């Protein structure tokens, strides 16, 4: 299937991959507060109940459609501002003051999680898969810092492939590295890794390997086609940057970088980590800077792939194999394969 096929997920403004998407930073949602969040075209009210748990519900009250973010958090439930109906943390109506008893209605709730200082929402029908993580840090307790928040004039998939666009490391980032990626398709995630050589003319490479003349690890793990976790550095010091992206209106991107480092013990460890997170941010900025303008104007269409674009093609195929949902409604979209299977079984029945 071509990357521009009508049904494919890649670079498609009308559909996206089922998965975990970032909603808002954890620290922006205090206990007892509710926020309006628009995620992938759907309006939500996200609140933190007294137990500290985050609850995400569809925004509009089933009574008359008031936005529930205008309401008040009560216990672990939410009470609509307009006529004071109350819903519990499963979205079930538990109080209608004018009736003196609840009515059999409910609002749709969505699974949430908190990781790396961010609130994530599972957008999908099936049981949630793993939250995005950096492969080396899956079981590791980490310090983190939110980096830059940004908007780009292109699709999240297009922005993400920048990290495995081997050729552009030379032409844009002045990293004369020889990059060939090994990839591992993990079903929901895909990783591209390599050990690079060369690059001594670059200040970045000199910075991350003082006295270190051998290899520098560079690997990228993609989750749901929208979040990329980067691992970069020599063996003795890896930097970790998460590019958490989501599609906004018109197939554009809203993103947030998250800088991560493993926890180090004591006050000294805390201080060292502040410094390391700051340094990680500089590394992230180095990569973000050179390409900024091209993502404002690109009309992505990989018409003439070369050998150096092999990883990009692999990523496109991976994204197109994932389960698709519709922008705004979050309804499942049948893949061309499912449609074909269904069609052939119907013809058999006839
Ligand atoms: S609109 Fe919510 S209670 Fe009436
Ligand atoms: Fe780049």
Using most ligand atoms within 8 A of CB, pick from 85, 93, 97 the residue to mutate for ligand 1. 85
Residue 113 Cβ inside 6 Å of ligand 1? The answer reads no
Q: What is the mean pLDDT of residues 142-152?
A: 94
Residue 64 Cβ inside 6 Å of ligand 1? The answer reads yes
Among the residue ranges 95-109, 171-185, 284-298, the one predicted with the least confidence is 171-185
The reply to whether domains 26-123 and 135-322 share a CATH topology is no
Among the residue ranges 45-54, 244-253, 307-316, the one predicted with the least confidence is 307-316
**19: pLDDT strictly greater than 80:** yes
CA-based torsion, 155, 157, 158, 160: positive or negative:
positive
Output the CA 211–ligand 2 centroid distance in Å.
26
d(CA 79, CA 235): 52
User: Which ligand 1 atom is nearest residue 65's CA?
Assistant: 1
Closest ligand relative to 161 C-alpha: 2
Residue 80 Cβ inside 6 Å of ligand 1? The answer reads yes
User: Which ligand 1 atom is nearest residue 96's CA?
Assistant: 3
Domain ranges for the chain = 26-123, 135-322
Output the CA 71–ligand 1 centroid distance in Å.
9
**4: pLDDT strictly greater than 70:** no
Distance set, CA 243 to CA 77, 259, 285 (Å): 32, 9, 12
Closest CA to 89 of 55, 52, 116, 64: 55
> Looking at beta carbons, which pairs linking 171-176 to residues 24 or more positions away fall under 8 Å?
172/290, 172/291, 173/202, 173/286, 173/287, 173/290, 174/201, 174/202, 174/290, 175/199, 175/202, 175/204, 175/205, 176/201, 176/202
* Helix residue spans in 147-265 (DSSP H): 156-160, 168-171, 203-208
Tell me the three state secondary structure of residue 48.
strand
User: Which ligand 1 atom is nearest residue 64's CA?
Assistant: 1
Contact 162, 173 (CB under 8 A): no
Other residues' Cβ atoms within 10 Å of the Cβ of residue 61: 25
Contact 173, 179 (CB under 8 A): no
Contact 335, 324 (CB under 8 A): yes
Other residues' Cβ atoms within 10 Å of the Cβ of residue 17: 26
Which residue's CA is the nearest one to ligand 1's atom 1? 64
Residue 83 Cβ inside 6 Å of ligand 1? The answer reads yes
CATH class of the domain defined by 26-123: mainly beta
Tokens matching residue 40? 């992938």
User: Which ligand 1 atom is nearest residue 85's CA?
Assistant: 3
Output the CA 53–ligand 1 centroid distance in Å.
24
Tokens matching residue 69? 């973010």
Contact 326, 38 (CB under 8 A): no
Q: In the prediction, which pLDDT does 199 show?
A: 57
CATH 3.90.380.10 fits 135-322, yes or no: yes
Q: In the prediction, which pLDDT does 215 show?
A: 67
Q: What values do phi and psi take at 343, rounded to 5?
A: -60, -45
Residue 63 Cβ inside 6 Å of ligand 1? The answer reads yes
Residue 85 Cβ inside 6 Å of ligand 1? The answer reads yes
Distance set, CA 305 to CA 3, 206, 313, 314 (Å): 12, 32, 8, 12
Q: In the prediction, which pLDDT does 1 show?
A: 38
Q: In the prediction, which pLDDT does 202 show?
A: 63
Residue 50 Cβ inside 6 Å of ligand 1? The answer reads no
Contact 229, 240 (CB under 8 A): yes
**149: pLDDT strictly greater than 80:** yes
Among the residue ranges 89-103, 205-219, 328-342, the one predicted with the least confidence is 205-219
């Amino acid at each position: 299937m071509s990357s521009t096929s009508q049904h494919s997920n890649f670079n498609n403004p009308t559909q996206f991959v089922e998965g975990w998407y970032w909603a808002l930073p954890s620290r922006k949602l205090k206990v007892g507060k509710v926020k309006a969040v628009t995620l992938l075209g759907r309006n939500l009210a996200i609140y933190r109940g007294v137990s500290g748990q985050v609850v995400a519900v569809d925004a509009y009250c089933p009574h008359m459609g008031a936005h529930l973010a205008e309401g008040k958090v009560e216990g672990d439930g939410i009470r609509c501002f307009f006529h004071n109906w109350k819903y519990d943390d499963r979205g079930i109506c538990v109080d209608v003051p004018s009736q003196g008893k609840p009515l059999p209605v409910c609002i749709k709730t969505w699974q949430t999680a908190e990781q790396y200082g961010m609130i994530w929402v599972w957008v999908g029908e099936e049981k949630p898969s793993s939250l995005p993580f950096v492969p080396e840090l899956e079981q590791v307790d980490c310090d983190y810092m939110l980096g830059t928040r940004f908007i780009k004039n292109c699709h999240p998939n297009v922005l993400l492939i920048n990290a495995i666009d081997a050729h552009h490391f030379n032409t844009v980032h002045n990293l004369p590295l020889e990059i060939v990626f090994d990839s591992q398709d993990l079903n929901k995630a895909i990783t591209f890794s390599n050990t690079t050589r060369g690059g001594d003319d670059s200040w970045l490479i000199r910075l991350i390997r003082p006295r270190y003349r051998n290899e520098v690890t560079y690997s990228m793990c993609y989750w749901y086609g929208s979040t990329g976790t980067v691992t970069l550095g020599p063996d003795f010091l890896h930097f970790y940057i998460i590019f958490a992206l989501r599609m906004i209106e018109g197939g554009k991107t809203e993103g947030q970088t998250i800088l991560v480092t493993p926890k180090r013990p004591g006050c000294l460890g805390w201080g060292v980590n502040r410094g390391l997170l700051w340094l990680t941010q500089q590394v992230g900025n180095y990569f973000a800077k050179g390409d900024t303008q091209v993502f404002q104007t690109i009309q992505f269409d990989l018409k003439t792939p070369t050998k150096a674009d092999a990883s990009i093609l692999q990523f496109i195929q991976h994204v197109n194999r994932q389960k698709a949902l519709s922008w705004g409604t979050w309804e499942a979209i049948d893949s061309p394969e499912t449609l074909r299977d269904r069609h052939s079984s119907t013809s058999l029945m006839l």
